[in-house]
């Protein structure tokens, strides 16, 4: 479960910008603020089930982006490969680009 | 105009997987097969205007993805930086990852 959360946070870091404002709000309330669906629902004035569905749909969307673009996977691979670069300046420069 | 086409093709290469099958079909007919909107419309049995709108919307979508994720921009930057890596194996490995 925790591993799942770490993975989902990685996906959000890569693809969060492709989500709508509402999707980001619910996602962040749930995964970053650790609010329950019940609590988010009360704050927004919608049902617990509607919040739950919204968050599930958002995670599905993030997973779809990763299936299609593989950005997280590529970032991990590049991070591994650049460990072997001797020139620290080049290494840092590539790291900066993939994380900016 | 040609420069535009090269840029749009780059965006398609990065984000084409996020489009629907229909969007990809129209896009490829227009940009790769060089068919006119009129010809595509005749093949698909829809109006020239509908094809035109579909393709414009697709390009807008591709541009949105780039604004949000900057994948093309990052790929170009990494390609530039890795030119300075002496170890050819590492260089090729990174190239392979960003283009796979």
Q: Tell me the Ramachandran region of residue B43: left when phi exceeds 0, alpha when psi lies from -120 to 50, beta otherwise.
A: alpha
* Model pLDDT for residues A54-75, shown as the tens digit of each residue: 999 999 999 999 999 999 999 9
* Most A CBs within 10 Å, among B64, B68, B97, to test the A interface: B97
What's the predicted TM-score (pTM) here? 0.90
Mutate to test the interface with A, among B72, B74, B95 (most CBs of A within 10 A): B74
B72 and A CB contact within 8 Å? no
Provide the pLDDT for residue A100: 86
A64 with A99, same domain: the answer is: no
Name the percent of chain B lying above pLDDT 90: 94
Query: Is there a single domain that holds both residue A35 and residue A47?
Result: yes
pLDDT at A2: 57
The verdict on B4 and B20 lying in the same domain is yes
Q: Are residues A11 and A46 in the same domain?
A: yes
Confidence bin at B2 (pLDDT 50/70/90): low
At A9, which CATH number?
Answer: 1.10.10.10
Which value does ipTM take for this structure?
0.87
Same domain? For A64 and A77 the reply is no
Neighbours of B29 (CB within 10 A): 19
Reply yes or no on whether the pLDDT at B91 is more than 80. yes
Question: What domain range includes position A17?
Answer: 1-69
Report the domain count for chain B: 2
């Amino acid at each position: 479960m925790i591993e799942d959360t770490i993975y989902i946070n990685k996906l959000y870091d890569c693809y969060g910008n492709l989500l709508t404002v509402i999707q980001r709000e619910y996602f962040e309330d749930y995964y970053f603020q650790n609010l329950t669906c019940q609590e988010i629902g009360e704050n927004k004035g919608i049902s617990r089930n509607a919040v739950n569905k919204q968050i599930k749909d958002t995670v599905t969307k993030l997973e779809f982006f990763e299936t299609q673009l593989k950005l997280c996977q590529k970032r991990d691979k590049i991070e591994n490969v650049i460990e072997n670069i001797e020139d620290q300046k080049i290494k840092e420069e590539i790291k900066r680009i993939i994380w900016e």
